Structure 1
Amino acid sequence: MSFNFNLQSIQQSLQKTTKSLSDSLQQNLNSLPSAEKVTSSLQSNLNNLGKEVSNLKPILQRTRRSLQEKLGSTSDISELPQEYKDLEKQTDALKNFYKKLLQVTRQYEIESYDYPPNLKESLNDYTKILNQKINGLSQATTTTEAEAVLLRPTKDKYPKTFAHQFSRVLDEVKKALLGDGEQTAETKTDSSLTKAVQFASNSEFKLGDERLEQDKLVTSEFNNKIRNVLKTQFSRADRLRRKVETARLNFDTVRAEIKEIKKGDETVEVPDAKSKQLEAAEDELVNATESAVEAMKELIKTEEPVNLITVLTKIQLNYHKSATEELSELAEELGVLNVAGEDDVQETES
């Protein structure tokens, strides 16, 4: 066995490999940032860090000033205009008014607010739903059908309002009065009582529907509009008031610094930079106060509260009118049945 080595070919291959490695190394070295670029980038980062620290300084000063005021360690606090303070009180009172109203009227968003939960009925409802699911699963032949049975919402014919539930009970009473399927057609004839129960059931169901319609209107035309006012108009006023407080803290912080420089000696000259800083802080406070005053004036002069109460009153009035008409018709129907019942009794006695 013999091996033939081509020395020239090997040398050429080594030269190519060496050149390739050299080129690759040079390319990587060229891609590295120069010392000048590294220094520039580092300086830029340091400058940015310095700016961040500078931005934090006023925040820390305001925080310290606010704590001093709350702890009572300083009494030299700038007095805001009386008009501004009066508007703040009126704005807070109006905001509290809206919130108090909403605490009550949001009950309209709870379907069962006039029909508290009943443990026995709740257990019966759960049992009924469970039986429906079991029956549905027993008839399912595929996984998809079984999943559909489990996910299908169960809708009760009778919503959880007092009127609807009263209607349900009256329907059950009527069925009990009529008896089961073993009775003859003659014995199943509706009596005055079963007719009265049916009339009352129908009427109560309509009353329940009217109440739900009222609730829907109160939610959309009253509750949601109050929420929108609180979210938009009052949020804007609160934001502007926070700006006033921030500007006031800045102004008082600079005043305190100047006071520290003078140390009670009015002849001490204040540096120009500090004087300009005080002027800028004062301008900021004045502008912020004017913007907040304008926003609060606009907020309290609106007729929106009266309009909303008017809307709520009309919704309630329409509901009670409908309820009165429905109950009046029911009373007439029951009166006719009562007269007919008395006539039947007289005919029987004669």
Structure 2
Amino acid sequence: MSRVPAHATTATDPAARGHELGTACREAIHETYAGYARLFAAHGLHPHHVRDHGRAAFAAIDAWAPHLAEEITGLAEGSGLSVWKVAALNARTEILAAAAVTGEGECSTSVVLPGGGAPPRTVQTWDWHDTLRGGMLAWTYTTSEGRRVATFTECGVLAKIGVNDAGLGLHFNVLRHLSDSAGIGVPVHAVARRVLDEAVTVDDAARIARSARLSASTVLTVVTRDEARCLELCPAGIGEVYPDDGFLLHTNHFLAPELAGGERTTAASGSSTFERDAWLRERAATALRADDLTARAHALCAHREDGAPVCAHADLALPEHQRWESLATISLDVVAGDLHVHRGGPCEVEERTWLTLTAGQAAFA
């Protein structure tokens, strides 16, 4: 099985870093945008809506984190894609939320703090549309302040899941809330990027998240050697979920009581989030505590016939915009600063299929 493409940028200036990555990944960025353009259209979004949303997202990013707007401009110049299109890629969660899109699938994340000085044990699936599997990227870079970061993301998107050299890791799952709106705010992927670039503690990550005006929801599961917390982000506020006996699990519905009342995802809408959550808590909790990352990945091997599609496979009989697949399986080692990525679902993981990036050092195993 082929691995997720990997790239390491050397430029530390935001615009130069964006230009370097945009040039290196030019074709993949164009293909990724084309895939999202089809997805947006399938959900009834006219190209001029996407253009307006992209411009609004760029303005929100520029106001909140001007250096990230500079990087997006560099990405656009390097790739030959319009600035608003690169911004729309980064705001794909916000654009889909503006169209009130719901989905059957999405990601499952587990973090275990075993105690006794042992490092945290993390694993998640990244579930998305199978037609967008070609846009995956494992990327290492260094910020202008010297922070080294390794992230799994999509081509042209600032960041998603990752770890930095300060020993902070970040997992990422989408959520949907009644407060989500079409008034495009700071993209949640930009929030994830600033957390990876700047945060050393979980409190740092929460402070960064609270500073952004949001229009869409997500959950950032932040982990350091000694602490883990789910930060549930939505326009109505930020909820925080703490480990239970060292075990922290999240799928795609709100758990914080102050936000759960605004939950927009329901079992009636076809989402599997509740089944996946129950299956993992009841049948996989012990296995998710395993020290070996391959064993943890195998703990996620539940398919629809098992009662919950934790490991999802696309139903090719469905239209493209209704198909879901576990495109990647990811684990973080916050002590070593390692990002481990397997291309595909947990049922295909073997020890030899992991790609390992060490934060900022472009050390590929």
TM-score by length of 1: 0.19
The answer to which structure has the higher helix fraction is: 1
**Which has more radius of gyration?**
1
The answer to which structure has the higher strand fraction is: 2
